[in-house]
Amino acid sequence: MPGLLNLKNGRAFATGATPYFVGNIGEPTAGRLMIRLTIEGQPLVAAIDTGSPFVICHPDLAEPLKPRLTDPLGKKRLLIRGIEYRGDTYLMSAEIMADDGDDISLTVIVFIPQLDPGEVWTLPSFVGLEGMLQRMRFAVDPDASLFYFGPLGEA
């Protein structure tokens, strides 16, 4: 079945696309690709970070999800931008809405940092390779500022 981007054999590589923008995450040279998605229906903007093992949800954005978070996968410690954070990981639903083509829904691993009293989170949310991106195909078109995506399948 043809898609927005296709493999040589005609099968779809990407079936959806959404615009991205380059956002600064605190340092002058730290621009990151930022996309819109939802986690458990909660909208968020997240930086694409192939070095991150999970989706990392901004603690304030995770607040509305907390009543539904009953079964953590486990406690983790992550080094994020040079600072160690403690938190829990959860299996959650994520969706990237396509501006062109088909949306994609995935079950992803989400890390929610636990902040100390008075601590302020100054980073965005992140979409990581192991927790989300490795569960789908993706490509970036810098000329059109598009993030292409599609389900894994036969090549």
pLDDT-derived band at 102, boundaries 50, 70, 90: very high
Q: Please give the structure tokens belonging to residue 146.
A: 């598009």
The mean per-residue pLDDT over the stretch 40-53 comes to 90
Integer Cα distance of 56 and 46 in angstroms: 9
Cα distance between residue 72 and residue 117, in whole Å: 22
pLDDT tier at 2 (50, 70, 90 boundaries)? low
pLDDT tens digit sequence for 105-148: 999 999 999 998 998 888 889 999 988 999 999 999 999 999 99
